[in-house]
Structure 1
Amino acid sequence: MRSKDARFDGWFFTAVTTTRIYCRPSCPVAPPKAENMRFYPSSAAAQQAGFRACKRCRPDTSPGSPEWDERADLVARAMRLIADGVVDRKGVPGLAAELGYSTRQVERQLVAELGAGPLALARAQRAQTARLLIETTALPMGDVAFAAGFASIRTFNETVREVFALSPTELRRRAGRGGVAPAVGALSLRLPFRAPLCPDNLFGHLAATAVPGVEEWRDGSYRCALRLPHGTGVAALRPMPDHVACRLELGDLRDLSTAISRCRRLLDLDADPVAVDELLRADSVLAPLVDKDPGRRVPRSTDPVDFAVRAILGQQVSTAAARTHAGRLVAAYGEPIDDPGGGLTHLFPTPETLMELDPRSLALPRARRAAVLALVEALAGGGIDLGPGGDRDLARARLSALPGLGPWTVETIAMRSMGDPDAFVATDLGVKAAAKSLGLPHTPGALTRHARAWRPWRAYAVQYLWGSGDHAVNRMPL
């Protein structure tokens, strides 16, 4: 707190007993006396203790804790699901069911570690969503309350006043919002991140591998179609020096918090690049790569199921060929969408839809067709959970048991679909070529042994290895 270190924003929150205000660690206000300070592991815990959010540093807009992506235990899985809006849609029993634990167990572990249960954590997220809508749109307050997930206007008003010490109307007036409402469902906002961030590999990879009709690079932004709990949407994401500009067009505003969460997850914005780069710099071979482009992120996916199918389509073929195969699948089986502002035409087909495809229509070798069908059947039947609350080790084991899914496919799905920061594609041709050119062991077994020193950030090491070559995934389009 004395050094105003923004790296720790979102890791914990500080509260002052004399002012009853809680802040992020980097708050520009002079730190109070130590005896007047309290520390909380979540904004929900600070709110439950009776503290309100600082109007200067706005702690509710901090990046999320990087722990929830790194860890794979019950608490981390629960936090990823809460961010995805599961509590608002299904309640605490629904959250517990997705995790495979009792409601009591989930409550107890969250309270023990975060100082707040799932309802309080979801309430803090609703308050943050409400503030975003109040300050960045001219929507009627009733629509804001509904979109943020509140059950009533009264609860909405009470929560906003309690958390921010201002009424919804005062919040909007303070933000200086005009009186003209935006287009229905269209919102512009900023996605914060921990610096540094290298946009080249992140946006370059997404643009180079974009599936025609589902993703595109247009006017300096990566755009993608979203399948959301209450409808569809389109996200446009553009890197800026201190944030990612995000424009969302949503069919139903209730999907706002889920859409934001999925965009943040796609871009790996809750990562701690200082911790990642510090560890990787300890390897003398990786150090120059890290120093050249610090802050590389791992590009992920807004829909883990969709990407798993794409991973099989991309086996042993070029990036262009993988895009072609996926584009044909989308054109034949995807769900059409409207995109007046761009060239997006479809959502990627669901596993249930793909259960009906004729395997002979896939211009793939017979073994790969069989692999696609086996994966689709497992996903449609619920035998494999690749979502934010899934068990990564169990998903890996079940993926590996399917025909035609070798280590490259399983680890690629773990990295991009499941968001595992330690996934490692030792058999990837680009990784092996980079390792050889850099003087590292380049056989899969030897490279995996060498890479033990890079744990738990091997997925980031992959980004630096890829970045040492000349490929479109390393360059953000002009």
Structure 2
Amino acid sequence: MRNGMHTDRERCLRAVQSKDARFDGWFFTAVSTTGIYCRPSCPVVAPKPENMTFHPSAAACQQAGFRACKRCRPDTSPGSPEWNHRADLVARAMRLVADGVVDREGVPGLAARLGYSTRQVERQLLAELGAGPLALARAQRAQTARLLIETSELPMADVAFAAGFASVRTFNDTVREVFALSPSDLRARVPKKSGAPRPASPTAGTLHLRLPFRAPLNPDNLFGHLAATGVPGVEEWRDGAFRRTLRLPYGHGIVALTPHPDHIGCRLTLTDLRDLTVAISRCRRLLDLDADPVAVDDHLRTDPQLAPLVDKAPGRRVPRTVDEAEFAVRAVLGQQVSTAAARTHAARLVTAHGDPVDDPDGGLTHLFPTPEALAALDPGTLAMPRTRRTTFTTLVRHLAGGSLHLGVESDWAEARARLLSLPGFGPWTVDVIALRALGDPDAFLPTDLGVRRAARELGLPSTPAALTARAAAWRPWRAYAVQYLWATDSHPINVLPT
């Protein structure tokens, strides 16, 4: 664990002096003599130790009056893994900030979703991150603005609006303060610096982005799983990319995600550019890009049975979701049936109840149906056994009614308890929802047939109780251990599609 790493001065100094990219996003270095802040791996000569201070967030650096380094671009480093493996108030708040809740609903909306007072949320964020929710959201708006400035030909007034700024003047002032360049100067630098000029006539609302991650990243099970379980009309593998539709706060989108050795290519088409921040956040979450693979793999290697699997293909991520309610529905559809049957069931629901979309570049046709749409359907039309039909209708009714929350703000323990109280929800269904929808890095599937078969082949206990006892040593990364166990099988989910 690296909680509060910015307070460990000696460790931070070693990371900066060795330019260790593994710590990008864990903390930021502010340099008093230059007035800039950097990521630990910044390629410039390391400043003198006495001139460095360390901060837990880019927003804290900006609050302290520092501007972003033009060389290492700390605002584009991978996000802190803290918000993935923690379930406390601060982590849940940060996941909501990344999902754009402060911009859409304000700080009171953020606090209401978390079930705390505005003052409590502000106090805890300020104590741990050196910045309150407004400052954190402002830093995110600045990053979104930079993406739009550098990857599109949008007029600056449209960039300001799309990034969430209340006025063009605030947008101009923030960009100058954070990046020490005007928006026009920032755009003018791109072709010279990147060597890849923006397209002269981009499709309206289409952006080409590079999503960073911490190395290593093994794409096989990540993209293999998404492609093999994809719902026709909503998801597809085409031309080396995983493509899917996105339901977003202001409209919808289509994203194509392509694995590369040092980044994930992201081609994003949006009906409303105000959804850019949310779309990026959800794509990063889908691919688990903010994980710390070195910390995970080092821990799992301590088990002699797992070590060879980790050494063979390090950097496995947990394939997650862009829509937690959608995944819960799909988990129920997949109960006690094959992957192909689950896809067929889901495709029928999509065709009958999903919202249609246009996709001139592929075969995507619909958004996945909302819980509200599914709650209104006639249960008699569902081609499934009566008990599973009851499970399905109960789930969508609770999701639509708001008595069950599975979003990024959800309390993992509370969500598990609520799911287990529903008819037809046993340990496997709840654990797979915890693993892929809730994002719990310690979710474990001891009753899963693939996990048990892999355990038996490796000489691990294969009964659920004994395997759970043995897996206690893998905590808090049991969700990643599941990926390594699944990878021993020849199932298509473990193969990068061609």
TM-score by structure 1 length? 0.99
Q: Does 2:322 align with 1:302?
A: yes
Residue matched to 2:467: 447
| Cα shift at 1:181 | 4.3
Query: Structure 1 residues 428, 151: closer, same or farther in 2, change over 3 A?
Result: same
Q: Does 2:246 align with 1:231?
A: no
5 Å-filtered alignment, 1:430-445, equals 430-445=450-465
* Equivalent-residue separation in structure 1 for 2:134 and 2:198 (angstroms): 33
| Cα shift at 1:30 | 1.2
Residue matched to 1:97: 112
* Equivalent-residue separation in structure 1 for 2:229 and 2:217 (angstroms): 20
- Of all paired residues, the percent bearing the same amino acid is 74
Residue matched to 2:341: 321
Q: Say whether the 8 Å CA contact 1:139–1:181 is kept in structure 2.
A: no
Aligned partner letter, 1:237: L
Aligned with 1:402: secondary structure? coil
Q: Does 2:382 align with 1:378?
A: no
Q: Does 2:183 align with 1:168?
A: yes
1:24 pairs with 39, 43, 47, which one?
A: 39
1:75 pairs with 87, 90, 100, which one?
A: 90
Residue matched to 2:166: 151
Q: Say whether the 8 Å CA contact 1:141–1:168 is kept in structure 2.
A: yes
Residue matched to 2:378: 358
Deviations, residues 431-472 of structure 1 (Å, cap 9, x unaligned):
111111111111111111111001010000000000011100
| Cα shift at 1:10 | 0.3
* Equivalent-residue separation in structure 2 for 1:135 and 1:326 (angstroms): 38
Residue matched to 2:135: 120
Q: Say whether the 8 Å CA contact 1:22–1:53 is kept in structure 2.
A: yes
Residue matched to 2:194: none
Residue matched to 2:237: 217
Q: Say whether the 8 Å CA contact 2:151–2:198 is kept in structure 1.
A: no
Aligned partner letter, 1:364: M
Residue matched to 2:101: 86
Aligned partner letter, 1:360: G
| Cα shift at 1:138 | 1.1
| Cα shift at 1:119 | 0.3
| Cα shift at 1:180 | 3.0
2:413 pairs with 385, 393, 399, which one?
A: 393
| Cα shift at 1:329 | 1.0
* Equivalent-residue separation in structure 2 for 1:404 and 1:263 (angstroms): 30
Structure 2's unaligned 5+ residue stretches are 1-15, 192-196
Deviations, residues 296-329 of structure 1 (Å, cap 9, x unaligned):
0000000000000000110111111111111111
Structure 1's unaligned 5+ residue stretches are none
Residue matched to 2:10: none
5 Å-filtered alignment, 1:395-474, equals 395-474=415-494
| Cα shift at 1:360 | 2.1
* Equivalent-residue separation in structure 1 for 2:456 and 2:199 (angstroms): 60
* Equivalent-residue separation in structure 2 for 1:178 and 1:44 (angstroms): 28
Q: Say whether the 8 Å CA contact 1:226–1:235 is kept in structure 2.
A: yes
Q: Say whether the 8 Å CA contact 1:194–1:270 is kept in structure 2.
A: yes
Q: Say whether the 8 Å CA contact 2:29–2:37 is kept in structure 1.
A: yes
Q: Structure 1 stretches (4+) deviating beyond 6 angstroms?
A: none
Aligned with 2:17: secondary structure? coil
* Equivalent-residue separation in structure 2 for 1:337 and 1:138 (angstroms): 25
Residue matched to 2:222: 202
Aligned partner letter, 1:214: V
Aligned partner letter, 2:373: T
Q: Say whether the 8 Å CA contact 1:224–1:234 is kept in structure 2.
A: yes
* Equivalent-residue separation in structure 1 for 2:68 and 2:298 (angstroms): 32
